[in-house]
């Protein structure tokens, strides 16, 4: 039994390393969902390395969001160009469930 455990240890370790790499690559996104609690249609927004405003190719009516950037707060705007009154703010590592739908056309990423 000891030999079997010793033989499987590198496989388990490699799986953990690969899972960590997948988490690191997913750590630079803001995900928006049309339903509450991360349900319904979704749209992924890539976070720019230096932050700034990102226009969505297709606006989404969001009820929930997950910010996995770890560095930037995400301010959601109903207007293009990150202008007008913010619809919501999602902290740098945060999940938000909105009581009402939020139309999102652009997102401003700013240092957290």
Note whether residue 9 is domain-resident.
no
**Given pLDDT bands bounded at 50, 70 and 90, which one contains residue 23?**
very low
Range of the domain at 60: 27-111
Note whether residue 97 is domain-resident.
yes
Q: Residue 32 corresponds to which tokens in the numbers above? A: 């928006």
For CA atoms 46, 54, 30, 34, the dihedral sign is negative
Give the pLDDT of residue 55.
Answer: 97
Q: How confident is the model over 24-59, as pLDDT tens digits?
A: 444 589 999 999 999 999 999 999 999 999 999 999
CATH of the domain at 57: 2.60.20.10
For CA atoms 108, 81, 40, 102, the dihedral sign is positive
């Amino acid at each position: 039994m000891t030999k079997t455990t010793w033989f499987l240890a590198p496989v388990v370790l490699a799986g953990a390393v690969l899972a960590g790499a997948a988490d690191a690559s997913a750590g630079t996104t803001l995900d928006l969902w049309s339903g509450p609690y991360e349900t319904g249609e979704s749209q992924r927004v890539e976070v720019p390395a230096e932050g700034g405003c990102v226009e969505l190719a297709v606006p989404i009516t969001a009820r929930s969001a997950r910010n996995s950037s770890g560095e930037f707060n995400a301010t959601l705007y109903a207007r293009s160009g990150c202008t007008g009154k913010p619809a919501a703010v999602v902290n740098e590592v945060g999940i938000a469930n909105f009581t009402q739908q939020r139309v999102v056309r652009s997102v401003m990423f700013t240092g957290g």
